[in-house]
Structure formats: C-alpha cells, structure tokens
Amino acid sequence: MVAAAVATHLLLLLASSLVSFTLAIPRIPSGAVSVSTPLGTAQGTLDVDGANRFSVRYATASRWKASTIVTQWQLPNGSGDPAALPLQCPQIRVDASTFSEDCLSMILYVPVDISAGSKVPTLVWIHGGSFDSGSATGPGLDGSKLAIATHSIVAVIQYRLGALGLLAPNGPTNLAVTDTINALKFLGKILPSFGGDASKVTLAGQSSGASMIRTLLAVPSASSLFRSAILQSDPMDYGFLSPPTQSLLQTTFNDLVNCSTTDTACHSALPISSILSAQVTLENEANALDPAAGQGEPLRPVRDGQLITTPLDSTAPFPAVNKPLLLTNVKNEGGPTVYELLFPGGPQPAALFVPVCDFSLGEDRTEIVMNSGFYPVDPNGDSRHPMEVLTTDYVWRCPTWTLARNWVSHGAPAYVGMYTLGATYPANADTPFCLASGNVCHRDDIYIVFGTTPNPTPAQTALTLEMQARYRMFLLTGSPNAPGLEPWAPVSSSGNVPAKELGSKTTSDGLYPPAACAPSFWGAAAQYDYQVFNI
C-alpha cells in the first residue's frame, strides 16, 4: 500500500509548476503610445508600473504545423485594444475562456526614456510550467519595473504547450522550440525601432523556461539570436527526451486521440478538450511506459539530431561554448514537491525514505545515497526533510553545478548563485513548509527578479535592488558584478563552484556549500537520470 501510494504521488513530481494564474498583470492603461516599426505601427499603452507596454502576435501556426513569423504588426487574438493582453496557450486547470490556440504572442516592456537609436540590451523572459502550463501574464511577470531598473527592453514570450507544442501526430517534433526561435527572430526585426540592439539579447527563464533556454543553447541555428543566458531553477536532471522515448510517447498519444498519423482532417476536428484529456492521460502513464520519460516533465524537447544536436550534459562530448551563463537555484527547490504534492498531510516516518528513493532512483542509486552521509534520516524525525534536500540536489542544484563546470571547461564563463531569501509565489502560499522562516521554495525567486513582490520586506526590497543591478550588468557585460556590490566570482577552470548566496548569509563566506554537489558524488558516484537512461 505504501509503495502504491508513493508511486501515485510521485507521478505528480514537479506538477506544482502546472498551476497557472490567468491575466495577473494589471489591465489598467494610463495612456496610448505608438512606435513605427518595419512591420507597421506598434500600438501600446503606458503600464501602471511606468514603462510602455506592447502586446503583439509574433507568429501564427495551424494546429501541429510549424509556426510562421508575422509580416505585419498585429495585436494578439485579433484584438483592437492596445491595452489587451494575450490569451494564454491551451492548458489544464484554467478556464477555457482564458486560452486560445492563437497564442504565439509576447509582451514588450520599454522604459519611456528609451527610443529608436538608444541601442539598449533586451532581456527575453521564458515562463516556466513543466512545458504544459504558464503564460506571459502569470503572477509577477509584469516586466515594467525590471525594464526600468535594468534600463533595458523586457520581452515576455509565450509558446505552444504540452501536446500542441511537443506531440504533433504527423511527426514534427519540437514545435514549441521553433516557436521560441521565431519569437527571437521577430524581436530581431523590431527591436531597433524601440531602441533595442538586436545583438544584445539575453535569455532568462525559470524552471521549464530555463530548460527551454538550455535547449536553445543546444540548437546551433539559434546561436546568433542571443548572446548570454540566465537559467533559474532548471530541472536539468531530466535531460532532453531521446528519439525512441519521444516516438513511444507520440504513438501512445496518437492512440489516445484515435487519429492516424496521416489523417489531418481528424487532427483538425479534435476538440481542444479531447487533446488536453489525452495529454493528461499520457503524462500520468509516461513513466510506466518508459522510465526515461521521467516523473515530472515527460513532455519536453527531444534531441532529434537536427534542430537539437547535443545533449549538453555528461553523456556525450561537450561542445565548445562562448556565451556567458548565470545559473541560480533556490534553497528549497524540492519543497512544493515533497511537502505539498507527495505528503501534505503531515510528518512521515523515517521508514518511508527508502521506498520513496527506490521508486525515484532505483535500488542501486538508493543504496549509494543511503551510504553517502549526505541525507541522514532521523529515526524519530520527519522523513520529508531529507526527501526535500535529496530532491533539491538530485533534480535541480547538482546538475546545475555539473553544467557550470562543463561550461567553463569548454570555453565560456559561468556564475552560480543560490537564493537564500525569496518571496512566496502564489502557488506556494498554501504550503506551510514554504511559508516557514528561512525556506525558499521553487518559484520564490520570480517576484524578487521582477520587483513585483506584494508588500515587500526591507530585506526583499534590498535583494530585488541587488539582483536587478546584477542583471543590468550581466545584460551589458556578461558578468553579474556591479559597482557597490560584493564580488561574485565565476566558476573556476579547476571546477570550483563559488555559489554566491543571494539574500541571507548562511555561511561565513557567503558561499553555499557543495555537499552532495561535489564532483565526486552526483554525476559520478550517483548518476543523474539523463546518465542512467543515456538520454
């Protein structure tokens, strides 16, 4: 019974990222604005936080077909209101009136003192949500304050999610990835009109948004579209899907929707509710169909050898690189998974730790973990604590540190940070663990970066000011070191990772300890999922 319950819960791993909030950005316009672009006149409005806001459709796409960049400026969803925000892409757990398949849109935030000829950098934000939820209008993603603080243009983009972006029955993979590439190409056309320099684009994103950026780093044809990247809380342990795994998931999905590969009329006639229902069924069954799909993010980009040419991990020769990276995690990435999804009812006995590990890691890795000393289990304590530490290390923190070491050893700088202070994100507001003093859960860095924390404390305000100053310098120079702030050392060529604590200092030197993220443990003695499944 315990194993069955654990299996059921673990199928929801990371599903907290599925929670989507609709149109959280204020709609109240303060005034109309317009900009002349090569695609026509861009109409926008003065955002309530002080920057000019432009919502725009960047591409169009028929269902399960490649997207095409628009050739003229268009407001999202056929709207005639420049203040209107784009509908989100189809997804579960939201009202159907809030989404549309016509969702390839973005929102630009441009400080009022930036105009054509300014040549400022651009930060492109890619939202999280396990590749099957989220939008450009999620909580805290109003980019006005971030744009003003960094004196840059902030673009928050959307791309097709779930089955519509990653499970085309007629064969093409990675539609969501090519959507994102088209968003960057669109920006290259119009940024100079707004005062941006198309050669100074930095990608930033959280969770699966960071995974999408890692994907773009593995796409040679996208390399010229951006010059640096910020990855926040990327669940790198999963890696990309392999073609055989993707093919199995695709075949299963085709069976669920009961359309043959070539029956385009059947594809077009499917109600969106049927597509989403089949998607949910597949996501729940994916790990049982093929453990390489994983338990938390089974629908994700596939390394097809054509668009995505490298795993960008430790399973194959690492390519030469030249883009600076800023890589961050939060202290308790695994908090929502363990304390909200798996065991929300209260403390769990120590005896549960091993079966949970067995299900997630298999017996061999579980034995290594149990003998490591990194995850001690108090015989009389709550086993959720070591579960959370293990989940944070294994899914997020340690594979991030491994990527940083690989990145630096192959040609480009990388900076690693750990948020030891955050601001509770709405999806975490009902999880007592995430509300406890000192805990920083997955997504609790979003408000801090955007400067959108409701009623911030002085410490939160100070951290926001610091991070926005560091982001400004990273956009300009590829380094997060800013005047008046403590130095942030890059990862060394020897593999030392000086992970800077962002917020509260928990160590005397302000560097987060490696512990299980030392090179000899995760990725070596205990392998990541992408190594175990050779993906």
pLDDT score at 412: 98
Question: What is the pLDDT at residue 24?
Answer: 53
Name every residue whose Cβ is closer than 8 Å to that of residue 380 and which is 6 or more positions away in sequence: 350
DSSP state for residue 491 in the 8-state scheme: P
pLDDT digits (tens, 9 = 90+) for 333-361: 999 999 999 999 999 999 999 999 999 99
- pLDDT mean over 279-286: 97
> What is the rounded CA–CA span in Å between residue 27 and residue 528?
44
pLDDT value of residue 284: 96
Q: Is the pLDDT confidence value at 27 over 80?
A: no
List the single range of 19-28, 32-41, 503-512 with lowest mean pLDDT: 19-28
Residue pLDDT, tens place only, 470-499 = 999 999 999 999 999 999 999 999 999 999
Q: Rg of the chain over CA atoms, in angstroms?
A: 22
Is residue 273 within a helix (H) or strand (E), and if so which, with residue range? helix 272-289
The percentage of residues in the chain with a pLDDT greater than 90, rounded to a whole number, is: 91
Q: Could you tell me which of 333, 250, 244, 326 has the C-alpha nearest to residue 291?
A: 244
- In the structure, what pLDDT confidence band is assigned to residue 48 with cuts at 50, 70 and 90? confident
Residue 17 has pLDDT above 80, yes or no: no
* pLDDT at residue number 402: 98
* pLDDT at position 15: 40
Residue 155 has a pLDDT of 98
Of residues 9 and 63, more confidently modeled:
63
- Domain residue limits, the chain: 1-419+515-535
Q: Which of 135, 152, 207, 242 is catalytic?
A: 207
| Nearest-angstrom CA–CA distance, 310 and 220 | 9
pLDDT band at 534 (very low <50, low <70, confident <90, very high): confident
Q: What residues contact 509, with CB distance under 8 A and at least 6 apart?
A: none
- Given a cut of 70, whether residue 29 has pLDDT beyond it is no
pLDDT tens profile 136-177: 999 999 999 999 999 999 999 999 999 999 999 988 899 999
Q: With contact defined as beta carbons under 8 Å apart, do 448 and 460 qualify?
A: yes
Over the stretch 122-146, which tens digit does the pLDDT of each residue have?
A: 999 999 999 999 999 999 999 999 9
> Residues 22-47: what's their mean pLDDT?
78
pLDDT tens string 205-241: 999 999 999 999 999 999 999 999 999 999 999 999 9
Alpha-carbon span 501 to 467, nearest angstrom = 12
Contact, 330 vs 419, CB < 8 A? yes
Q: What is the largest CA-CA distance in the chain?
A: 68
The confidence score (pLDDT) of residue 21 equals 40
Residue 363 has pLDDT above 60, yes or no: yes
Question: Which is the CATH superfamily of the domain at 1-419+515-535?
Answer: Alpha/Beta hydrolase fold, catalytic domain (3.40.50.1820)
Cα–Cα distance for residue pair 508/228, rounded to 1 Å: 31
Q: Which residues of 81-90 are buried (b: 16+ CB within 10 A; e: fewer)?
A: ebbbbbbbbb
Given the structure tokens 């590439």, which residue do they identify?
181
Average pLDDT over the chain reads 93
Give the confidence band of 26 by pLDDT, cuts at 50, 70, 90: very low
- Joined together, the tokens standing for residue 247 give 């093919």
Per-residue confidence (pLDDT) for residue 2, from 0 to 100: 38
Instruction: Quote the percentage of the chain above a pLDDT of 70.
Output: 94
CA atoms within 13 A on the CB side of 293: 21
Q: Is 207 a catalytic residue?
A: yes
Tell me, what's the pLDDT at 49? 87
Residue 23 has pLDDT above 60, yes or no: no
Buried b (16+ CB within 10 A) or exposed e, 505-528: eeeeebbbebbbbbbebbbeebbb
When pLDDT is cut at 50, 70 and 90, the band that residue 195 belongs to is very high
Q: Is residue 483 left, alpha or beta, with left meaning phi > 0 and alpha meaning psi from -120 to 50?
A: beta
